Structure 1
């Protein structure tokens, strides 16, 4: 995490495995992502991928708060009680379902104000730097990721209303725990959502229009596609983190469902 002031944008040398959350503390100009440009101003919140496909065109001297999310940040320390697998799943989910265009990250007004308050708390603790600051920052980042995940889920549904509230909750849960194979097993989901294990597959297909296995596989492949395009992670690392046997297994699945292998997708990007 860092606070940086720019009179003129400079390419940043640090890379991250997932993305950076950017809070504009003051200033204005144009944000460019994938050659698309939109104005930015004070209090805007943006998401920037690791790949070098963005820049800010500064019109007035601008001060940014950058919060960088890397996989190393989610390696638990000894005696650490934080559920890092949940953090990691949400990072993947947010990255896979972000449109990677410039502009405000959060459309919901209430959620946007909530994230601003949390980022202000993060900035305060970052500048204070006392013995409790790291813990308080971490706690606020957990809340921010949860809000971003909720907004990403709304983007997936695109206004679609799911009549069965239990199935809506089930989809939320699966999406937020996609890389935790134990928590998205039929046995675990059946037990926690009160659905018979023998009926679960039929229940899921009836509500989703596809099998549970296909839904999970395609969701993981969407994550893999976003990771290979927008992050610096190796294909081997992406395959391992998403639960594929190896990079060859991931490549085969990607070619089968999307017609292109991982390396081809990365080079094309």
Structure 2
């Protein structure tokens, strides 16, 4: 699989297309992808998501993707290396740093658009407009400071939407996208992610929803939920001061021992060893 390389810390790629010209690929960088108009299919990590005007995606270096354009689409790709968020002169404990690090760490999880709320989309698009205008003045001595501030604001809005625990009504249709979204929204509430509860929410028989999910994603429903939770826990261990007991409580484990047992099963390491090694 081809891997695209970014030779500068940052660039913006704005274009319109009727046909997607790139094969499935990975990157050496992060991408915020804005859909400014049009609709079609966005294939990310083997999962299929419908995209439409206003959608925003965040992809990390290990994500692989391509588009199937169904209506002429205007894209804007903001591409940046992780180094762009490192500011040695700033205090290490500034509140935004661990949030953005967590966002970028969890970016490789397959998901669709990160923002559903219309006002939140508008805020991001306004920031994009300003960023594109400033990009025309990239030789200015002030550009890097303005760029980093705007990009940081975008990432914080994306993090707020991604990590929000506000319950939302699921899209009760035959799309696996709706199930994936529901899982992400309720990852901290294990009681809402049992097979029986998911089957009830999406109006499937318990046995059928498992078969449907595996057919669409290539992974069992239970495995996907556990792996998604483990990735979020890894980010907590790396970028938060929370104790194991606090993390266990946050993710709805019965106790710290239960968390450690499952974490070791899926990573080959205890949470304490993982944190110490990192």
Structure-1-length-normalised TM-score: 0.54
Task: Classify 1:203/1:42 alpha carbon distance in 2 versus 1 (closer, same or farther; 3 Å).
Answer: closer
Provide the C-alpha distance between the structure 2 equivalents of 1:210 and 1:135, rounded to a whole number of angstroms.
Answer: 46
Structure-2-length-normalised TM-score: 0.52
1:54 matches 2:54 = no
Pick 1 or 2: higher relative contact order, CA cutoff 8 A, min separation 6: 1
Provide the C-alpha distance between the structure 2 equivalents of 1:30 and 1:49, rounded to a whole number of angstroms.
Answer: 19
Map 1:150-169 → 2, pairs under 5 A:
150-153=160-163, 154=165, 155-157=184-186
Task: Classify 1:213/1:132 alpha carbon distance in 2 versus 1 (closer, same or farther; 3 Å).
Answer: farther
Q: How many residues align?
A: 198
Name which of 179, 195, 206 aligns with 2:238.
179
Matched residue of 2:21: which SS? coil
Map 1:105-254 → 2, pairs under 5 A:
105-129=114-138, 130-153=140-163, 154=165, 155-157=184-186, 178-180=237-239, 183-184=241-242, 208-211=252-255, 243-245=275-277
Post-superposition offset of 1:126: 1.9
Q: State the match for 2:52 in structure 1.
A: 41
CA contact (8 A) 2:54 2:121 kept: no
Q: State the match for 2:173 in structure 1.
A: none
Which stretches in structure 1 are left out of the alignment for 5+ residues? 161-173, 187-200, 226-238, 247-269
CA contact (8 A) 1:16 1:69 kept: no
CA contact (8 A) 2:39 2:53 kept: yes
Provide the C-alpha distance between the structure 1 equivalents of 2:73 and 2:150, rounded to a whole number of angstroms.
Answer: 24
